[in-house]
Amino acid sequence: LKATSSSFSLCLSLSLLTSTMSAALSSSLYISPKKPSCPQQSQFTTLSTKPTTIKTTLHSHPLFSVTDQTVTLQMKEKILCLELMGIDSGKALSLNPYLRSASLDSIESVLHFLQSKGIYPNDLPRILGMCPTILTSDIRTELNPVFMFLSSDLHVPENGFRRVIKKCPRLLISSVEDQLKPALFYLQRLGFRDLDALAHQDPVLLVSSVEHTLIPKLRFLESIGFSRSEAIGMILRCPALFTFSIENNFKPKLDYFMSGIKGKLENLKEFPQYFAFSLEKRIKPRHMESMERGLELPLSLMLKSTDEQFEQLLLLTKPSSVANV
């Protein structure tokens, strides 16, 4: 991202914007989609990405208005920098107002730091697009502690950082002391023992509030009739339960399960993944079709089967020959 002021001025000249876009895309402003080289060569290289990768047309962006004299050259440089990385500058500036006062040097330092941790340049548009706050995070006090947490607390090797961060970019904007460690402690107390699975499959649980997200969902399961140990067992079997909305997921699906399917809580205890399926697109249609054929299928068989397998199941299964367990 190192570029001379003259190249910035050239790229940002509104009257010549259209004719300079291809030149800007091949300038040192842009990031190579290739993997980062060795640490000594981790600087951004030239880019071969086509102009179609730019998400927001620069000359139509409100901050590029010729009549807007309040927009500084530095701001325009940052907008172009974000756009050429494939990040919607309007969205980024809206979600992270601190970008307006951040220097290009500080942004560049963050980008180089992420690359030094194994993040590929072509990973950055998605990661930073989801969490633009990362761009103005302090490397020493905010970003580096997250990687230390991954290494020391979750035992993620350095070559595994990229996979974890890609899975859950929000890790990089979470406080280690106030969020990540308390969440890990709570999850381990519940019985989460597989740190590798937690890091690579369910890292979103680490950025979830213990007080406002995890505990209320466990209590909800207890409130509908499960013992605490049963509720915990369900969550350990299906960690995604911690990510579902009580109002928009648990309650409507539970209501249909009790009144429509007329199932027993024991069925849900055995197959908590029931809550992971769409009520309108999967649960209701398949249950109704099963009932029309006079079949009572186990939840797992009814919901986990592919469309083709389900059709075959309906044809081959005799009415009332399978219990809903």
The mean pLDDT value for 312-322 works out to: 71
Residues 6+ apart with CB under 8 A from 171: 146, 150, 164, 165, 180, 203, 206, 207
pLDDT at position 69 is: 53
pLDDT score for 88: 87
Residues 89 and 79 sit within 8 Å (Cβ to Cβ)? yes
pLDDT at position 59 over 60: no
Say what the pLDDT of residue 313 is. Answer: 86
Mean pLDDT of 113-130: 94
Q: Encode burial over 24-36: b for 16+ CB neighbours within 10 A, e otherwise.
A: bbebebbbbbeeb
The pTM for the full model equals: 0.74
* pLDDT tens by residue, 197-239: 999 999 999 999 999 999 999 999 999 999 999 999 999 999 9
Q: pLDDT band for 74, please (50, 70, 90 cuts).
A: confident
